[in-house]
Structure 1
């Protein structure tokens, strides 16, 4: 103990001596938590809204540069599990986020429900089938129906639940064309390669080539919720938290609402 006190006194004396003769003691620079490059993995249905929000965020946080990977939530989950350098994940369903949380791959206390959505039926704008509801998809004149692959695309998961609850899942099997993302489903309907498709209301809203013909009753499928969380392996967790907070700001929420999203409570 006496030796430690002597060393401390000598250290203090040396510092004072150096200052007295004009030397400057330079402390290590603090790490700037507001200067980073982020990679955000986000559900495909968020692309248009987030691309509009991005310049607003970067203007408010000029030290943080953001890149994005938009895809179906299932493949994004798998990429994170395989070590992709993702900083923040925004899923279109709780299933994928739950899997990452169970594997301790997200920072649990950063998980928040961000948005909500609804499931709709769309048809090509020039369709002559006169569709007005989901049950009509079982009619013989409807030959091809596009929906997301249920195992990897949340919109497909919701669609399967809907069709099963309507009692028409088995009848629709021969007609189904599976897409690898909800935007892929939308494109299939836009091109006329499907008579109808099941997408989110926000996707139908951005396309001039399809018509929304029905909205699924919310009690016939799992609630559509978009959770987000910082990825545990992120090297930029403080900047990722800053980005997540911005997505919940009034400025960002106004953009989400304009695209038709609901704000999660």
Structure 2
């Protein structure tokens, strides 16, 4: 009799496990691959979405270039938010974006920063004395060959006629946050990051803002990936683009795209 009862209990356990498995799997929120500069805003957006009784999205931050490579290597993510249009274009051309899901999410501004304990003021104009202001130190930038913040930075310095004077004096970061860390630690006298990054750190100060016309407009596109299987992914994408979502990005210093 005891064996019969134990067998019945085991069958019930298996039944409930099978019945609950899809629901438990769906409890995981959508996996979002987002540009490193969006950390604070995206965490706030995820919290707001969770407050609406949804599973909290799983957020993974890195340089847009690194995220694009992950997607093309088969990463099972739901949404991609890039810090520029080039990497979203790259992923889209490779066939990893769901048609009709791409939209511009936010904008940003490029700034020059210095350590908070060693503030600098520099008027960012053509032929500004950037190299002289660096002294014997270096300029921190995200990799200008691949990372959006670095690409925007190189374009701006080139347009302002000062790129040749600092091209051999760079301290390169893997993404915009590791770039800012170099300035925070005093390993670089100056650095180029987004305005939202500088705003998120108490250890840096803004030395000046780059004129918008010195580089391409900074836009963050968002799109759903073809491998997305999470039922909440599309809803979260729409929430980010909604008035409620946009107010969160504005609160963290992002501009309208």
Task: Write the distance in 2 (CA, Å) between the matches of 1:231 and 1:224.
Answer: 22
Deviation digits for residues 121-162 of structure 1, max 9, x if unmatched? 001112265534362222162521000002331000000101
Alignment match of 2:237 (pick from 229, 239, 244): 244
Find the aligned partners of 1:170 and 1:194 in 2 and give their Cα distance. Answer: 18
Q: Give unpaired runs (5+ residues) of structure 2.
A: 1-21
Once the two structures are overlaid, the 10-residue window that deviates more, 115-124 or 170-179, is: 170-179
In structure 1, the partner of 2:88 is: 97
Supply the distance in 2 between the matched residues of 1:142 and 1:39 (Cα, whole angstroms): 43
- Work out whether residues 186 and 199 of structure 1, in 8 Å CA contact, stay in contact via their aligned partners in 2: yes
Give distance in 2, aligned partners of 1:213 and 1:74.
27
User: For 1:150, what is the secondary structure of its paired residue?
Assistant: coil
Specify the alignment match of 1:160 in structure 2: 154
Instruction: Flag the 1:128–1:199 CA change in 2: closer, same or farther, 3 A.
Output: closer
Query: 1:257 and 1:38 mapped to 2: Cα distance?
Result: 23
Count how many residue pairs are aligned between Structure 1 and Structure 2.
233
- Structure 1 segments, 4+ long, off by >4 Å, are none
Q: Once the two structures are superposed, what CA deviation does each residue of 1:93-126 show, in whole Å capped at 9, x if it has no partner?
A: 0000001111111013000000000000001112
- 2: CA distance between counterparts of 1:145 and 1:108? 40
1:111 equivalent to 2:102? Answer: yes
Distance 2:227 2:181 in 1: 34
Match of 1:17 in 2: none
- Alignment partners' CA distance in 1, 2:245 and 2:119: 39
Structure 1 unaligned spans of 5+: 1-30
Question: Residue 222 of structure 2 aligns to a residue in which SS?
Answer: strand
- Residue 58 of structure 2 aligns to a residue whose secondary structure is strand
Which one of the candidate residues 112, 115, 119 is aligned to 1:121?
112
> 2:44 and 2:149 mapped to 1: Cα distance?
23
- Maintained 8 Å contact 1:129/1:141: no
TM-score by length of structure 1 reads 0.82
Equivalent residue for 1:44?
36
Q: Secondary structure at the match of 2:29?
A: strand
2:164 aligned with 1:170, yes or no? yes
